[in-house]
Amino acid sequence: MADNFYTASLSRTQGRNTWAVIFRHPKRTDPTTGKEGLRVRQSLKTDKEEEAATLRDQMNMLLENPQLWDLGAREQALALFDPRVVDIFFYKLEGGETDFLMLRDGVIALPSSQSSDYRRALFLGTTGAGKTTALRQIMGTDPAKERFPSTSTAKTTVHETEVLLQDGPYRAVVTFFPMEDVREHLKECVSAAALAAYRNESDAEQMRRLLTHVNQRFRFNYVLGNGPVKDSSDFDDDSNGDTDAEASDLLKGTNDVLSSALASVKELAVRYGTSLRTELNATEEKDQRVIDELFEEELDNRTRDDEAFQQVVDAVMDEIEERFALLPDGKLRKTKVGWPLTWTWETEDRDAFIAAISRFASNYSPLFGTLLTPLVNGVRVAGPFYPTWTTDQPKLVLLDGEGLGHTPRSVSTISTTLSKRIDMADAVILVDNATQPMLAAPVAAMKELVSSGNSAKLIFAFTHFDKVSGDNLPSPSARAQHVLASAENVLSAIGEDLGPFAERALRARLASSRVFLAGLDQRLDVESKDGKRTTSQLGKLLELIDGIVERPKPIDSRPIYDRMNLVLAVERAAESFHNGWRPRLGLSVKQGQVKEHWTRIKALSRRFAMGSDHYDTLHPVADLKKELQQRLYVLLQNPVGWNGPEPTDDDKQSIFDAIAEDLSRRLLDLASRRVKSERLGDWRNAYDESGPRSTFRRAKLIAERVYDLAAPVPDVTPSPDRNAFLQDVATVTRESVELVGATLR
């Protein structure tokens, strides 16, 4: 019987003194496969081999005693074994996801408009439009010397940034992505590097794949540097930039680890590439094209259980974790197995504070190899920040996050995370580039805001106003009208799609709540004409934010809705959801829709199997929520009658928005449950597909076993699945309607 138990072994990566233990966990399942025996590797926090061997032996004793595996036996295990062994074994058995927002609240609480004069202002906008630059102007950080928060024309902010403008010392709390998330992204990077090696791409390209995740959310080169392999290009020079001596010394050891990792990746590619070619018997060029696709998938499947692959991941993870030891100030709180959870600090020294916080939020290239930015999922700071163009300190909480993207494909749906941020904000500043206004991203944001009942929060901020020029635009007023004219067709189109009250609400906000901003990337010169104009507009922005108060209470009349109209709305929403996803899965063809690469669909199934609800720009939960929310918002505008006299349009708008706001929250929970929680096993099965035609089988499984069951289209022929879905939507709609005293009959 003992032969059936897993056993532990010791590990120590190149250049490291600390020992780690490796074993297969009998009570933890691999989230992507659902199979027991998840591989675990954790530091034993000792550099003494004899002590490490003792801890390993204790782990083996624990692995041989099933009666000690249950969570209730933890205290009994502590009486027998070293706490380090017990902590490693019981890690993640206690269940529950970490609430990072609550962790930050526990250190720096954000005041609410309901109990204070503070307003929470969320900045939304296309990547590169200037939302973070606008936030900098309001918090008063120097764009040249302080560079906080970080900006770029490309994707920069991928974590949540929260700034509390408040008297007192400078305070910060930073939260970090879980170790499992970082490791999973790193595995994908190693697989990408192995594929590049198989294709005989340059060493520099292999290193780039190893250090930069394909969706650019995890740029490990920020943490580890760009590696020892340099690529040649027309723009190279001999300068090493401003990298300091400390960073250079640190990177020498890291580069040795990366060189060794790259060598291992090449060996994996050769070994599996050769065996796969033989197995698949590729003899012709057309065969080779088929094999390339099969190889990509099989490489990922086979290498993830290969110990050499795991050792590469282990070594790079050790290098990443080592960076936390460089933090000179503050308090680093860790999980029981030693992974950083939060970092907190308080000081009166602004310069020291900005320098310290930059480690977690900067994208400054001379600091590559020392930054922790990609590992951070939230930064919250508080202190006496205020605009340089005023002596008053606004009572504001500034919220920033990832940009919306550039293309219709990438921004057609607002993520579930962003939907929650909109819900917690008092004001939403939609930052749009005045030189190219009202493109896909702001339109998607406007649709989300209005259909979720949050249009009253909307403020338009048009940036790069100084770049709007033309012979027919002789004055600022003419330039402003030119920008606003771009909204006409957009608002009309939104009205046709979401109903007249959607268009009405957005037109009202555009007319009353807009600012035009120029030169935000520089210190504003209040003596210049443009500087005066921009500071005046920024002052107006602060007034608009402060003026967003509790909405007026609805009048006595209440709408009456017909359940039959609800059925039609749900039918249309479900059809739109499936019509959007089937072409992306490659199961049908639709003009304007592009099939997603099979690797992205596989990555999506892996993310859902691990408990996430999206991958990069693929948001099936948010897609279903959006379709239901928008169709039901149209329904809300068309009651079959009123209990009482028919209200004015303003009062109708208030009632419709109150229902829509509550309904939006309920629909998010409904979509998450039906697409994610209830279909977890099917997502795992989809990810497990492999071999010839697995791409098609995976797509078909997602369409039929996940999406069709999560959102079946109501039909004249009833079925348990259709009835259950319709009943779920009817229930949450009735609850939201009745919350304001309306009726669904």
Q: Which of 155, 665, 626 is nearest to 414 (CA)?
A: 626
What residues have CB less than 8 Å from 149, skipping those under 6 apart?
132, 135, 136, 141, 157, 161, 361, 379, 400
| Beta carbons of 207 and 316 less than 8 angstroms apart | no
Position 238 pLDDT exceeds 80? no
- List, in order of start, the domains of the chain with CATH numbers: 8-90 (no CATH), 110-167+384-547 (3.40.50.300), 558-744 (no CATH)
| pLDDT value, residue 2 | 43
| pLDDT value, residue 493 | 93
Q: Is the pLDDT higher at 218 or at 3?
A: 218
Q: Find the mean pLDDT for residues 443-459.
A: 95
| pLDDT value, residue 452 | 96
A 10 A CB-CB count for 377 gives 17
d(CA 527, CA 536) in angstroms, rounded, equals 12
* Phi, psi (degrees; rounded to nearest 5) at 661: -65, -45
Q: How far is CA 546 from CA 204, 374, 550, in A?
A: 51, 33, 11
| Beta carbons of 222 and 363 less than 8 angstroms apart | yes
Q: pLDDT category, 249, cuts 50, 70, 90?
A: confident
Q: Which amino acid is at 547?
A: G
Position 551 pLDDT exceeds 80? no
| Beta carbons of 659 and 609 less than 8 angstroms apart | no
Position 239 pLDDT exceeds 50? no
d(CA 667, CA 677) in angstroms, rounded, equals 14
How is the beta sheet containing 331-334 ordered, strand by strand? Answer: 331-334, 340-347, 170-176, 376-383, 160-165, 396-400, 119-125, 427-433, 458-463, 514-516
Position 606 pLDDT exceeds 60? yes
Q: Which of 143-152, 284-293, 411-420, 651-660 has the highest mean pLDDT?
A: 651-660
Give pLDDT tens digits for 625-652.
999 999 999 999 999 999 999 999 999 9
Position 677 pLDDT exceeds 90? yes
d(CA 615, CA 540) in angstroms, rounded, equals 38
Q: pLDDT category, 234, cuts 50, 70, 90?
A: very low
| pLDDT value, residue 246 | 57
Q: Find the mean pLDDT for residues 650-667.
A: 95
Question: Considering all CA atoms of the chain, what is the largest pairwise distance in Å, rounded to the nearest integer?
Answer: 88
Give pLDDT tens digits for 399-426.
998 777 645 555 678 899 999 999 999 9
* Mean predicted lDDT score pLDDT of the chain: 87
Residues forming a β-bridge with 461: 431, 515
Q: Supply 250's token pair.
A: 């640190």
Give pLDDT tens digits for 294-323.
767 777 777 777 888 989 999 999 999 888
Q: pLDDT category, 346, cuts 50, 70, 90?
A: very high
| pLDDT value, residue 290 | 59
Position 284 pLDDT exceeds 60? no
| pLDDT value, residue 1 | 38
Q: Which amino acid is at 569?
A: A
Q: Find the mean pLDDT for residues 444-452.
A: 95
How is the beta sheet containing 641-643 ordered, strand by strand? Answer: 641-643, 558-561, 743-744
What residues have CB less than 8 Å from 676, skipping those under 6 apart?
608, 611, 613, 621, 683
Q: Which of 324, 689, 387 is nearest to 537 (CA)?
A: 387
Sequence-ordered strand ranges (E) for 525-645: 558-561, 641-643
Q: Supply 223's token pair.
A: 């943490």
CA 102, 108, 110, 115 dihedral sign is positive
Query: How many residues comprise the chain?
Result: 745
Q: Find the mean pLDDT for residues 89-111.
A: 89
Q: How far is CA 306 from CA 299, 314, 536, in A?
A: 10, 12, 62
Position 170 pLDDT exceeds 80? yes
| pLDDT value, residue 488 | 82
Record the pTM.
0.88
d(CA 168, CA 696) in angstroms, rounded, equals 59
d(CA 490, CA 430) in angstroms, rounded, equals 15
Q: Is the pLDDT higher at 32 or at 453?
A: 453
Q: Supply 703's token pair.
A: 């369409």
